[in-house]
Structure 1
Amino acid sequence: MNKHTSRRGRRTASAAAGVLLTGLLFGTAACAPQGAPAAAPAATMVASAPSAVSRAATGVSATASAARQPATTGPLLDASVPVRLDVPAVDIHTALVPLGQAADGSMDVPGGQPGDPGGWYKYSPTPGQLGPAVILGHVNNLASPQGLFFRLHEMKHGEQFTVTRADHTVAVFQVDKLAEVKKATFPTLAVYGNTNRAEIRLITCGGYDAATGVWTENTVVYGHLVSSHKA
């Protein structure tokens, strides 16, 4: 194991552990596909995400959740906010900003202007901690059909990418799979639920329906931590 990885986080369940995940929408404006009009449709990228208060609302204690957490495997890192994502295989290179929740309870999303960074959902684990860290990016932006995560759907099993963290650690992740999922049947537990290792999800919208002007799917990349090193 890399000397910069730590197993102290093994005593803590993932941020999504042991909860009944609440319905939470995260909308993404200007998700126009290639060839769509410049006045892009207001689309929603639907997923169900755990909120900061979900565990308390269900009456499941952190101690009980940790007790049910399966045996962990692979390297783990202590908590540190992610500041940059680099995915060379699909030419994604971006700063990251923390994303919380809007006043209506929906998940915040990154800005939709060209050059706006991607976002890390701050109620998910930080990349490298036990559980699934969640990073969002737009498939398009307000000026172009080709946004930050426009090529996310091209990612393949085994490809590696990195997340640089505020503690100057670079977490190296490997793609496990890519899935195109229907918003109506979004796999909430698979995306946000317990894991026995440090994992990550990269999410954007997909499945643009020109007839209705909405996005019907999400593109989700699943990956796991394989190593880390100093930046």
Structure 2
Amino acid sequence: MAPGHETRAPAPPYTPSVKLLAWTLVTGTLLVTGALHDGRPPQPSTGQAFSTPAAPAVGHTARAADSAVRPLRPSPPLRLRIPAIGVDAPVSRLGLDASGALQPPPADRPNLAGWYGGGTSPGSVGTAVTTGHVDLPTGEPGVFYGLGSVVKGMTIEIDRADRRTAVFTVGAVEVYDKERFPDDKVYGSVGRAELRVITCGGGYTRGNGYQGNVVVYATLTAVR
């Protein structure tokens, strides 16, 4: 699970469950497949992929930079904010069910983000995984309905239980078909503090729901 570059590093601590986690995410059993509306959530453009240079930072953005930020000790996340798209959500710890699949955030709380508590804490060394619904079967937008409109340079803030706020800068936003989901790329670690924010995306059919996932890649660039 390499983080968007060719560099490989030792697998994260939750490696045994990673394949199941990836499959749960991309099949939509976690992140809702049955929306009843005809509109589609925004999807990332090719300009937000790793292969395209970032545009100059504006608005709620920050240049990802060369700032050396010391990673934090592990501490659970409490709240996730993406100011540029109006996300300000409480974070719930997610675990695995008996089959080893990631349990979903409750469908009756569309504004709740989830964090895989068996992995890395946001701000600590490694790749922290956060997820949330894009929409609900009723058609109501979920917490990450607008995730596909995130662009490089935007910031993601995570308040932690230790009263520190980890600030991440987006380096890429990509969408993957469920049959070709690059779990090594998405979940891997290169020895620094990384964050992934994942929701459903890609093509959509009423019979099978969303056909892939939107993945935001971000790196720790500040601590408050």
TM-score by length of 1: 0.71
Match of 1:119 among 98, 114, 117: 114
Instruction: Write the distance in 2 (CA, Å) between the matches of 1:166 and 1:14.
Output: 27
Instruction: Write the distance in 2 (CA, Å) between the matches of 1:121 and 1:225.
Output: 18
Instruction: Write the distance in 2 (CA, Å) between the matches of 1:144 and 1:18.
Output: 33
Instruction: Write the distance in 2 (CA, Å) between the matches of 1:218 and 1:115.
Output: 17
CA 115–185 in structure 1, closer or farther in 2 if over 3 Å, else same: closer
- 1:44 corresponds in structure 2 to none
Q: Which structure: larger Rg?
A: 1
Aligned residues: 182
Question: How big is each residue's C-alpha offset from its partner over 1:52-75, in whole Å with a ceiling of 9 and x where there is no partner?
Answer: xxxxxxxxxxxxxxxxxxxxx642
Question: How big is each residue's C-alpha offset from its partner over 1:135-159, in whole Å with a ceiling of 9 and x where there is no partner?
Answer: 0010002433411100000000001
Q: Which amino acid aligns with 1:123?
A: G
- 1:84 corresponds in structure 2 to 79
- 1:110 corresponds in structure 2 to 105
> Residues 12-91 of structure 1: matches in 2 within 5 Å?
16=12, 22-24=18-20, 25-26=23-24, 27-28=29-30, 30-33=32-35, 35-36=37-38, 74-91=69-86
- 1:158 corresponds in structure 2 to 153
**Which structure has the higher relative contact order (CA within 8 Å, separation 6+)?**
2
The list of structure 1 runs, each at least 4 consecutive aligned residues, that deviate by more than 4 angstroms after superposition, is: 17-22
Instruction: Write the distance in 1 (CA, Å) between the matches of 2:107 and 2:15.
Output: 31
Instruction: Write the distance in 2 (CA, Å) between the matches of 1:148 and 1:156.
Output: 17
Instruction: Write the distance in 1 (CA, Å) between the matches of 2:85 and 2:111.
Output: 17
Given that residues 179 and 219 in structure 1 are in contact (C-alpha distance below 8 angstroms), is that contact kept between their aligned partners in structure 2?
yes
Given that residues 177 and 222 in structure 1 are in contact (C-alpha distance below 8 angstroms), is that contact kept between their aligned partners in structure 2?
yes
Question: How big is each residue's C-alpha offset from its partner over 1:73-105, in whole Å with a ceiling of 9 and x where there is no partner?
Answer: 642000100010011111111100110101121
1:200 correspondence with 2:195: yes
Instruction: Write the distance in 1 (CA, Å) between the matches of 2:223 and 2:101.
Output: 33
Instruction: Write the distance in 2 (CA, Å) between the matches of 1:97 and 1:158.
Output: 26
CA RMSD of aligned residues (A): 2.4
Q: Secondary structure at 1:153's aligned position in 2?
A: helix
Given that residues 110 and 116 in structure 1 are in contact (C-alpha distance below 8 angstroms), is that contact kept between their aligned partners in structure 2?
no
Shift of 1:182: 1.1
CA 152–201 in structure 1, closer or farther in 2 if over 3 Å, else same: same
- 1:8 corresponds in structure 2 to none
TM-score by length of 2: 0.73
Q: Percent identity?
A: 31
CA 212–143 in structure 1, closer or farther in 2 if over 3 Å, else same: closer
Shift of 1:31: 3.4
- 1:170 corresponds in structure 2 to 165
| Structure 2: gaps of 5 or more residues | 1-8, 40-67
1:131 correspondence with 2:126: yes
Given that residues 83 and 165 in structure 1 are in contact (C-alpha distance below 8 angstroms), is that contact kept between their aligned partners in structure 2?
yes
Instruction: Write the distance in 2 (CA, Å) between the matches of 1:74 and 1:210.
Output: 43
